[in-house]
Amino acid sequence: MKFKNKLATNDFIITAELFPPKGTEISTLLNKADILAKVVDAINITDNQRASMRVGSLAICKLLKDRGYESILQMTCRDRNRIALQSDLLSASVLGLENVLILSGDHTSAGEYIGTKAVYDLDTIQLIKAARLLETGVDLAGKKLKGSPKFCLGAVANPTASPLDLQLLMLEKKINAGIEFVQTQTIFDIVQFQKFFDTIRYKNIKILPGVTVIKSVAFMEFLKKLPGVNIPQNIQDRILSAKNPFDEGIQICAETICKLRDFADGVHIMAIGIEEYIPDILKKSGKI
């Protein structure tokens, strides 16, 4: 089913994220996509995540499309000006790609090219509006298009941001600009997410909370250092005292998804390198 149609159902929506490779070896990614396509509604393809240079998300989304899979093209404002961003939106459309997740993108200082020019010519609100404008057959320069695209647009939110009210104002602004779904940054604290969700659910838009598998003690320490990642103490204790932290991480992730099934619109799984375990996690979380 098309992701856009899926959003219109009352089903628990499942998305997962894959990173394009650094280099041209794509068989590993495609193998993972083959595994995921059986259990998720759409596969997000990141856009040079953490400001590291990789294969472009557009190319990978096209490869997934050729295999008959629903993908979500992630598009950041970091690396392209308004000419390139609009051009890539049109390119996505002619390649048959409809789902686009618009985000500002990790700052260049987080990545491999610290001294490079961070573009941010458009911000997320402007890019959402630009995409909606292209759909009307006009571009940002006011020029008419010969044939116009159609998108299913999403954006991100961070339920752990503080002050939260500011994040909610921003989310509402993105909704008003025309997004149809939201994927959030990683949450570990269900209570915190539920509070966030209850504040915004009246907006009648699908919100997919992000979850991540804690693969090891070292990985947990890495996650804790990321902006906005809040791992409750009881979860930290479970990982620290586990005989096998990897299995415990899988179990915790499955439990989180299980709890989300009770009230949330769905889940967005960021397994960061162990995507082949996602079917197992989903199975453990209740239904598949």
Partner 1 sequence: MIITVQKNFSDLLMQTTDKDKIFIVGCAGCATKCNTGSEAAILEIEENFKQNNRIVSGFAVLDTACDIRVAKKELIKNNNFSEATIILALTCGAGIQAIEKITDLKIIAGLDGLFVGTTERIGVYNQYCSTCGQCIVDKTAGICPVTRCSKGLINGPCGGFVNGKCEVDQEKDCAWVLIYEKLKKTNSVNIIKDTYLPPRNIVKPKNIIYKKKDIKQ
Site residues for partner 1 per CB under 8 A: 77-78, 82, 103-104, 106-107, 109-110, 118, 120-126, 129-130, 140, 156-158, 160-163, 165-167, 169-170, 172-173, 176-177, 185, 227-228
**Smallest gap, in angstroms, from Cβ of residue 152 to partner 1?**
20
Residue among 104 and 148 whose Cβ is closer to partner 1: 104
**Smallest gap, in angstroms, from Cβ of residue 271 to partner 1?**
20
**Smallest gap, in angstroms, from Cβ of residue 184 to partner 1?**
8
Specify whether the CB–CB gap between 178 and 153 falls below 8 A.
Answer: yes
Residue among 120 and 193 whose Cβ is closer to partner 1: 120
**Smallest gap, in angstroms, from Cβ of residue 275 to partner 1?**
23
- Residue 116 exposed, middle or buried by CB count within 10 Å (0-12, 13-18, 19+): middle
Q: Which residues 6+ apart lie within 8 Å of 82 measured at CB?
A: 121, 122, 130, 140
Residue among 28 and 176 whose Cβ is closer to partner 1: 176
Residue among 21 and 228 whose Cβ is closer to partner 1: 228
For residue 43, list its beta bridge partners.
16, 71
Residue among 99 and 124 whose Cβ is closer to partner 1: 124
Q: What is the rounded CA–CA span in Å between residue 21 and residue 23?
A: 6
**Smallest gap, in angstroms, from Cβ of residue 224 to partner 1?**
12
Specify whether the CB–CB gap between 46 and 71 falls below 8 A.
Answer: no
